Amino acid sequence: MRRTFIAILLAAAGVWPAITVLASEPASAGDAARGQGIYEEYCRRCHGDDRAGLATYQASQEELKLRLEGQLRENMPDFFGVFREEEIADLHAYLTAR
Ligand code: HEC
């Protein structure tokens, strides 16, 4: 009952549509600045300063996810379960921002 009341209040205030829009934002809307922080912590030791070893990387976020989760692995370490979807989006935004 109380919950319904709050939902109605939010809807009336026009807040609900805003929340729905945020929740359904596409997975690719990553933040390159946050991605850079993740890169420096986890990736730089192999791929170099300022993405040197990935300079031409432009594959999709889905490809990056599969790679990080060990499904495209050749010599790349397995980051399965390490990153949340938003962090993969952030990394992807950073890697592909040129
Ligand atoms: C221990 C070293 C190591 C670390 C740490 C590492 N990688 Fe890699 N990465 C590799 C190697 C080796 C390859 C090439 C083999 C392959 O494709 O799996 C590679 C390949 C890649 C590729 C494909 C490059 C291309 O041109 O298609 C991407 C993208 C990538 N890594 C991203 C990352 C990201 C993002 C991180 C941090 C979360 C990371 N790597 C951490 C060693 C590493």
**CATH number of the domain residue 67 falls in:** 1.10.760.10
Does the residue 62 lie in any domain? yes
Domain that holds residue 38: 29-97
Q: Express each pLDDT in 39-61 by its tens digit.
A: 999 999 999 999 999 999 999 99
Does the C-beta of 83 come closer than 6 Å to ligand 1? Answer: no
Q: Report the pLDDT value the prediction gives residue 46, as an integer from 0 to 100.
A: 95
Does the C-beta of 47 come closer than 6 Å to ligand 1? Answer: yes
Output the CA 26–ligand 1 centroid distance in Å.
Answer: 24
pTM of the model: 0.76
Write out the DSSP string of 19-72. HHHHHT--TT---HHHHHHHHHHHTHHHH-GGGGGGTT----HHHHHHHHTTSS
Q: Express each pLDDT in 67-84 by its tens digit.
A: 999 998 778 889 999 999
Contacts of 38 (CB under 8 A, 6+ apart): 83, 87, 90, 91, 94
Q: Express each pLDDT in 14-39 by its tens digit.
A: 544 444 444 444 556 899 999 999 99
Output the CA 93–ligand 1 centroid distance in Å.
Answer: 16
| Cα diameter, the chain | 56
Per DSSP, 58 falls in state -
Q: Which residue has the higher pLDDT, 22 or 98?
A: 98
Output the CA 76–ligand 1 centroid distance in Å.
Answer: 5
